[in-house]
A and B are shown apart, each in its own frame.
Chain A
Amino acid sequence: MQRIVIFGANSAIAGACARLWVAQGNSLFLIGRDSAKLEGLLADLHVRGAPDQCIEGVSVDLNNFNRHEELFAHAETAMGGIDIVLIAHGSLPNQQACEHSVDIALEEIRTNALSVISLLTLAANRLEARGSGVIATISSVAGDRGRQSNYVYGAAKGMVTLFMQGLRNRLANKGVAVVTIKPGFVDTPMTSQFEKKGALWAQPETIAAGIVRAIEQRRNVVYLTWIWRWIMLIIRHIPEAIFKRLSL
């Protein structure tokens, strides 16, 4: 039995992870912004879980950084400790809006990068002190290279990826695994503006199964689905002189 905290539990991918973990008999503490959605998710998990299983949560906007510390304390009290932290919240910004408004661009960076870094710092210190556990974060393939179509989102995810890399290095000898998840295209409400056709689009349940497995195996960096490792390998190796002219 693992004690798991999920930030951004209302996201489709995180919700699917929660279902898998509940079925395994784990304890869960969920944090989501929309309270009605979170209540719906908790009710669903209660039906799926055993009657005495610990499945709790609170609704908080994670852009309130000063509440982060109390969330960890709350989760520890509810479950009697924390073994796994999954950070899954985020937003998919409108790139054009970010180009026209500094405020919007910075707000997106705040949501997708700074709030994650705040949570990662707190999680790392707690698990490091304990000498065990796993910290996993949903970054993105978009963070592997800046592209004109969504570089604000990409920059935020890139920051998260780099921060995780350093954290992994710091905690490598402290018993704490740091898992960077890089999903490609996922058919979720966040991507409702896209035409979702073709083999590259994956269902959130598929991504969730990959995340649960990656955490079990204490992997370092995981592309989901696997094909994205090779796609991004190519994308990362296109010379900048050529890349800057591509419409990507």
Chain B
Amino acid sequence: MHSWNRYPVVAHAHILDVEHRQAPLPVNNTSLLAFGNGRSYGDVCLNEGGTLLRTRRLDRFIHFDRKTGLLACESGVLLKDILDMAVPQGWFLPVTPGTRFVTVGGAIANDVHGKNHHVQGSFGHHVRKLELLRTNGERKQCSSSENTAWFQATVGGLGLTGLITWAELQLMPVANPFMVTESKRFSSLDAFWDMNEEAESRWPYAVAWIDCVAMGRRQGRGIIMLGQHAPVQDKLPALKEGEKRFPLDPPFSLVNQLSLHAFNTLYYYRPLRRGVGLSHYVPYFYPLDGMLDWNRMYGRKGFFQYQCVMPPEASQEGIRNLLAIIAKSGAGSFLAVLKTFGSKPALGMLSFPRPGATLALDFPNQGERTLRLFRELDAVVRETGGALYPAKDARMSGEMFQSGFPQWKEFSKFIDPQFSSSFWLRVTE
């Protein structure tokens, strides 16, 4: 078993399906962990030597109020299922990550965020209620007014507090499936900070692609992509549907220095539409979902994603230092994303989003070379008082985790005695 980045590959004693939400948790002599759709990167959803509880069969909607947008559904429902059902009725997810192929349970357990964090906060802010099934058979209804501490432990709780069986989400109204978008080029990091600050005051969605190989004066050049839900339109454009699938496992990573330089230069100079345009929400939010199994592009060894956050006062210098180290290493990939989080405090004890700037990059797995680079980056992040994102991590040290998530000890009191994960053992032992 592995997660989306195909590293690490881990053996489990049992892989069981949770058949329905009333079912009791299985009893065996190994530890348990829920596994949704396997779209996290690393070992946060893995449990070496233990039992994985696959939740994809918990895929039922329970209730949807078409007037208020309040949805109750089981935890294995994919965000895609919600959008397919709700968008035609004028409702949208208030927060969505960069793929629709994650489960509701996974979105809660990792307290995922989207391009609109500065307005809407993270996924947990829109969970009205959830049910937590513990191995002692207890079913806890948790919300911001009931079992509050359990709620705060479970949102962003990496699946360790028990099994989330269902949840109630507040959706937000939209007029149609389309987005008004604008993309603007910036030639340096300094230009980004100015452009981003101005943009965030006007646009609910803002994220920047960064050319991670550019050095010197060009360092941090990129394109900022802005969006908002389109108002009522007289006429809507047609949508070209269609998915492609990455067809094979290449013997080596197709992402390498050569392809990276070429791609990034082309991408940076790609012609941008002047002014605003209209885009369907699927290509806008989920460009990578159009290519199924894109993770195979990096070959059998898989890849890493490195995502950090650094506090506002330190983020400008921090990001500059990180990009300098990455450009010098020649590693990295097309996917390099920079965004600032808003000031809304996260709900979860272990939530990753916090005020500051977050940088995310994919790296092909080149073994020790890549890990050495990450240790260099870690030093910069730690210096600023930042943190790494557990949902994207396969290698951070215990010290790094504990310094980024000082509430981890308090949190650990809420862990179900029968639950565990490879990630948790790695960063706490």
Contacts and interface: CB of A to CB of B under 8 A. Distances in A.
Interface of A: 12, 36-37, 40-41, 43-44, 47-48, 51, 189, 192
Determine the main DSSP class of A at the interface with B: helix
Contact of B17 (A36, A47, A51, A192): A192
14 contacts: A12-B57, A40-B20, A43-B60, A43-B61, A43-B62, A44-B62, A47-B61, A47-B62, A47-B73, A48-B61, A189-B17, A189-B19, A189-B57, A192-B19
Nearest to A23: B84
Rank and list the top 7 A-B pairs by shortest CB-CB distance, nearest first. A47-B61, A44-B60, A47-B64, A44-B61, A189-B19, A40-B60, A43-B62
Interface in B16-35: 17, 19-22
A12 B73 CA distance: 18
Nearest to A48: B85
Contact of A51 (B19, B61, B62, B66): B66
Between A36, A44, A51, A192, the greatest number of chain B beta carbons within 10 A of the residue's beta carbon is seen for: A44
A21 B154 CA distance: 36
B63 interface: yes
Between B61, B66, B71, the greatest number of chain A beta carbons within 10 A of the residue's beta carbon is seen for: B61
A12 B60 CA distance: 12
B258 to A, nearest CB: 35
B423 to A, nearest CB: 26
Interface of B: 17, 19-22, 57, 60-64, 66, 71, 73, 85
Contacts of B21: 40
A43 B73 CA distance: 10
Contacts of A44: 60-62
Contacts of B64: 47
B20 A47 contact: no
Between B20, B22, B71, the greatest number of chain A beta carbons within 10 A of the residue's beta carbon is seen for: B20
Between A41, A47, A51, A189, the greatest number of chain B beta carbons within 10 A of the residue's beta carbon is seen for: A47
A189 B20 CA distance: 10
A51 B64 CA distance: 11
Contacts, number: 30
Contacts of B62: 40, 43-44, 47
A25 B73 CA distance: 22
A37 B21 CA distance: 10
Given A48-B85, A189-B17, A192-B17, A43 B63 contact: yes
Nearest to A49: B85
A47 B19 contact: no
A18 B61 CA distance: 14
A17 to B, nearest CB: 15
Contacts of A12: 57
A229 B63 CA distance: 41
A231 to B, nearest CB: 25
A12 B56 CA distance: 12
A37 B20 contact: yes
A41 B60 contact: yes
A48 B62 CA distance: 10
Contacts of B71: 47
Contacts of A37: 20
Contact of A47 (B22, B57, B85): B85
A45 to B, nearest CB: 9
A42 to B, nearest CB: 10
B217 to A, nearest CB: 52
Contacts of A41: 60
A103 B71 CA distance: 47
Contacts of A48: 61, 85
Contacts of B85: 47-48
Between A41, A43, A51, A189, the greatest number of chain B beta carbons within 10 A of the residue's beta carbon is seen for: A43
Contacts of A189: 17, 19, 57
Contacts of B22: 36
B425 to A, nearest CB: 27
A48 B71 CA distance: 12
A192 B60 CA distance: 20
Contacts of B19: 189, 192
Given A47-B73, A51-B66, A189-B19, 18 more contacts: A12-B57, A37-B20, A40-B20, A40-B60, A40-B62, A41-B60, A43-B62, A44-B62, A47-B61, A47-B62, A47-B63, A47-B64, A47-B71, A47-B85, A48-B61, A48-B85, A189-B17, A192-B17
B79 to A, nearest CB: 15
Contacts of A36: 22
A44 B57 CA distance: 13
A192 B22 CA distance: 18
A12 B20 CA distance: 11
Nearest to A15: B60
A107 to B, nearest CB: 23
A198 to B, nearest CB: 15
Nearest to B81: A48
A37 B85 CA distance: 21
Nearest to A47: B61
Between A36, A40, A41, the greatest number of chain B beta carbons within 10 A of the residue's beta carbon is seen for: A40
Nearest to B59: A44
A232 B85 CA distance: 39
A83 to B, nearest CB: 25
A200 B240 CA distance: 32
A47 B88 CA distance: 12
A37 B17 CA distance: 16
B59 to A, nearest CB: 8
